[in-house]
């Protein structure tokens, strides 16, 4: 193992000895200085996770969250210098973290918060202009054959739990005491202008969006969504997607430039 790898491994293992050969410019004890540096590294990673997952932290309390985040940070150090990208594996870690099993919806709330971060940093794109929407909807013969392009910030999370209601309540947008965590919800996450929005999709909306992202035609996507959810309402889902500007293009396959 190279000296760099030994140094990095020792930073993340509180029981590892100080790497050999370290010296301090002022003659102070390198072991003590390394211990301070090691602590600062872990604290900075925990702070980064707390910033990305604020509602997740609120659900379990700061002490529990920081202890859990510390375990994750030591097991999964960042692979990028951009701390804004750190924590992509945190939701899956929470799902496996035995002390968190008493809060079964915690991992999905973390997934929702990770989608918000991704949406915030996603590329920009203009929503469909009103005239293009009107033309597409007015041409019932061509509409089923159209292919849909979605905004780069769009993300969808289908959960067995009330993730949208839980998240909204922690933003002061609802009464947390009235939220029933065991009610399944599907979250749509997208950046509208400079603001990341989190809204609940109607039944079948997740299948509809997933089909759009797979490149299926409008008709194919609507049919799959209808088969996936008996209560699927195409009009309601389409109205919500258009309202939040998450559709950026509608065109026939032949019109798509190579």
Task: Report the C-alpha gap between 150 and 220 in whole angstroms.
Answer: 16
The residue ranking higher by pLDDT, 137 or 31, is 137
Q: What is the pLDDT of residues 76-128, one digit of tens each?
A: 988 877 777 889 999 999 999 999 999 999 999 999 999 999 999 999 999 99
The answer on 94 and 160 residing in a single domain is no
The answer on 256 and 134 residing in a single domain is yes
The answer on 241 and 146 residing in a single domain is yes
Q: Residue 142: is its pLDDT beyond 60?
A: yes
The answer on 242 and 133 residing in a single domain is yes
The answer on 239 and 147 residing in a single domain is yes
Q: Looking only at Cα atoms, what is the longest distance across the chain?
A: 81
The answer on 136 and 99 residing in a single domain is no
The number of domains in the chain is 2
The answer on 150 and 36 residing in a single domain is no
The answer on 135 and 80 residing in a single domain is no
Residue 108 lies in a domain: no
Residue 99's domain comprises 1-103
The answer on 150 and 77 residing in a single domain is no
Say if residues 182 and 188 touch (Cβ distance below 8 Å): no
Task: Write the CB contacts of 250 (distance below 8 Å, at least 6 apart in sequence).
Answer: 128, 132, 133, 136, 146, 147, 148, 149, 218
Task: For residue 199, give the CATH number of its domain.
Answer: 3.90.930
Residue 53 lies in a domain: yes
Give the three-state DSSP class for 148.
strand
Phi/psi region, residue 32 (left: phi>0; alpha: psi -120 to 50; beta: rest), is alpha
Task: Report the C-alpha gap between 209 and 237 in whole angstroms.
Answer: 9
């Amino acid at each position: 193992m190279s000296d760099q790898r030994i140094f990095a491994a020792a930073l993340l293992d509180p029981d590892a000895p100080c790497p050999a050969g370290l010296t301090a410019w002022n003659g102070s004890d390198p072991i003590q200085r390394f211990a301070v540096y090691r602590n600062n590294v872990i604290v900075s990673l925990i702070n980064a996770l707390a910033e990305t997952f604020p509602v997740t932290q609120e659900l379990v309390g700061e002490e529990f969250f920081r202890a859990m985040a510390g375990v994750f940070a030591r097991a999964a150090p960042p692979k990028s210098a951009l701390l804004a990208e750190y924590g992509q594996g945190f939701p899956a870690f929470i799902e496996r973290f035995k002390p968190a099993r008493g809060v079964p919806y915690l991992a999905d709330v973390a997934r929702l918060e990770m989608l918000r971060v991704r949406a915030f940093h996603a590329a920009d794109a203009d929503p469909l202009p009103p005239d293009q929407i009107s033309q597409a909807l007015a041409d019932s013969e061509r509409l089923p054959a159209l292919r849909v392009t979605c905004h780069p910030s769009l993300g969808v999370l289908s959960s067995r739990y009330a993730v949208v209601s839980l998240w909204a309540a922690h933003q002061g947008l609802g009464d947390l005491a009235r939220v029933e965590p065991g009610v399944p919800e599907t979250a749509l996450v997208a950046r509208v202008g400079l603001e990341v929005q989190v809204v609940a999709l109607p039944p079948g909306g997740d299948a509809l969006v997933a089909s759009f992202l797979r490149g299926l035609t409008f008709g194919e996507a609507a049919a799959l969504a209808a088969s996936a959810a008996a209560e699927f309402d195409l009009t309601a889902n389409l109205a919500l997607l258009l309202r939040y500007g998450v559709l950026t293009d509608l065109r026939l396959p032949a019109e798509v430039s190579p």
